[in-house]
Amino acid sequence: MPERMSDDQLSAAIREQATSLDFDLVRIAPAVSPTGFHPLLKWLDNGYAADMDWMDRRREAYRHPDGVMPGTHSVIVVALNYSNESPDPTAEFRISRYAWGTSDYHTIIRKRLKSLCRFLREQRPEAHSRAVVDTAPLLERDFARIAGIGWFGKNTMLISREIGSWFFLGAVLTELTLDYDTSFEEDYCGTCTACLDACPTDAFPEPGVLDANRCISYLTIERTDKPISATLRSGMQDWIFGCDICQEVCPWNRFAPPDSLPEFHPRPDLRTTRLLDLLTLGEAEFEDLFAGTPLFRTGREAIVRNAAIVAGNQQASECRAALQRLTEDASPLIREAASQALQQM
């Protein structure tokens, strides 16, 4: 039987294991009540979560990682870079760069985190662990900061001096006590305000605070069952899924390494997809084009609605006939967006 590792040896082995699973950064934080808990309550009370009421429903659970897994002692935080070279700059619409590839990041990260959990179980069968990415009531950026990965930019992104902010976070909560990294206490934004100035919908009520009601990312991805107000539509410019503007302008991303996994690389067929193609997608064609990608979760109805808004913003006259047909679509969301786009033309 192999000799049992000490806690320090195990922490080093966890870092090695996570690196071999393709994670770009791995750090370990103690399970504490995060500094962002009270700011989160204020954020929720201000209504900045928009219709994401699943956050408010679980507000108490964010107080401590115990709210996700009772008995948590440590939070292993990983970062996965998704930066890569741009798709065709002549594209008629924009998709956030995390969604240019063939797979959903939740699937990619969860699979690797589960493998890390298996490794922990082999080493310490008595200790529970749980993999989380995105959906659990855990302030992932706060734990990434406590684990020493980086600081909160004025655009609210967690930024690393090594790899910028084009990365996803994931975590493994464990009952084990491990060797912790030093939390990140500096702020490298300085006097820069590029992200605040560039946001086309004025989504930052103050530096470091984002009002989701106004954020294109929320509007295009999460607001799937309600129309988008006329005042925000033009700010959406040509985004049909997500928005990268407050990261594109960030000086810390100028030297971000473009070396993500192949699953994040731009799909060749998206380079040739036209706005008109999106407006004519039926359910089956939508599935053929986007199954397995992050756009699939948002669904055809919202994506076609977004494409109609973009067609209106671009005064895309070649889309007029398709928009006209969409004014008779079964979905009220699409009918409304198509009529508005035609009026805009």
Locus of tokens 């410019």: 237
Q: x/- binding map, residues 260-299, to ligand B12, per CB under 6 A? A: ----------------------------------------
- Residue 201, contacted partner among ligand B12, ligand SF4, none, CB below 5-8 A by kind: ligand SF4
CA distance 31 to 142: 11
In the chain, DSSP finds a helix count (H) and a strand count (E) of 16, 8
Q: CB-wise, 87 or 208, nearer to ligand B12?
A: 208
Locus of tokens 């067929």: 269
CA distance 220 to 101: 18
Q: CB-wise, 76 or 157, nearer to ligand B12?
A: 157
Quote the crossing angle between the two packed helices 283-290 and 300-313, to the nearest 10°.
Answer: 90
Residue 255: other Cβ atoms inside 10 A: 10
CA distances to 36, 39, 171 from 45, rounded to whole Å, are: 14, 10, 27
Q: Which position among 193, 229, 272, 315 is part of the footprint of ligand SF4 (CB under 6 A)? A: 193
Q: DSSP string of 206-266? A: BTTB--GGG-HHIIIII--SS---HHHHGGGTTEEE---HHHHT-GGGTT------GGGSP
Cα 36 to its chain centre, rounded Å, is 18
Q: Which position among 12, 21, 127, 192 is part of the footprint of ligand SF4 (CB under 6 A)? A: 192
Q: Is 279 in the site for ligand SF4 (CB under 6 A)?
A: no
Q: Which position among 119, 152, 264, 290 is part of the footprint of ligand B12 (CB under 6 A)? A: 152
Q: Which position among 8, 45, 56, 134 is part of the footprint of ligand B12 (CB under 6 A)? A: 134
Number of amino acids touching ligand B12 (CB under 6 A): 35
Q: Which position among 78, 108, 243, 308 is part of the footprint of ligand B12 (CB under 6 A)? A: 243
The angle subtended at Cα 81 by Cα 80 and Cα 84, nearest 5°, is 150
Q: Which position among 11, 72, 81, 155 is part of the footprint of ligand SF4 (CB under 6 A)? A: 155
Q: Is 222 in the site for ligand B12 (CB under 6 A)?
A: yes
Q: Which position among 24, 92, 104, 140 is part of the footprint of ligand B12 (CB under 6 A)? A: 140
CA distance 146 to 200: 31
Q: x/- binding map, residues 207-226, to ligand SF4, per CB under 6 A? A: ---x----xxx---------
The catalytic residue positions are: 134
- Residue 245, contacted partner among ligand SF4, ligand B12, none, CB below 5-8 A by kind: ligand SF4
| Residue 186 CB, nearest approach to ligand SF4 (Å) | 12
Q: Which position among 155, 201, 213, 298 is part of the footprint of ligand B12 (CB under 6 A)? A: 155
| Contact in structure between 68 and 136 (CB atoms under 8 Å) | yes
Could you tell me which of 272, 264, 319, 309 has the C-alpha nearest to residue 104?
Answer: 264
Locus of tokens 């995060």: 34
CA distance 302 to 294: 13
Residues within window 1-60 making contact with ligand SF4, judged by CB under 6 A: none
Stretch that binds ligand SF4, among 13-21, 102-110, 169-177, 238-246 (CB under 6 A): 238-246
Q: Is 39 in the site for ligand B12 (CB under 6 A)?
A: yes
Binding site for ligand SF4 (CB under 6 A): 153-155, 189, 192-195, 199, 201, 203, 210, 215-217, 243, 245-246, 249-252
Binding site for ligand B12 (CB under 6 A): 35-36, 39-40, 43, 52, 96, 98, 133-134, 138-142, 152, 155-158, 165, 167-169, 208, 210, 212, 215, 217-218, 222, 242-244, 246
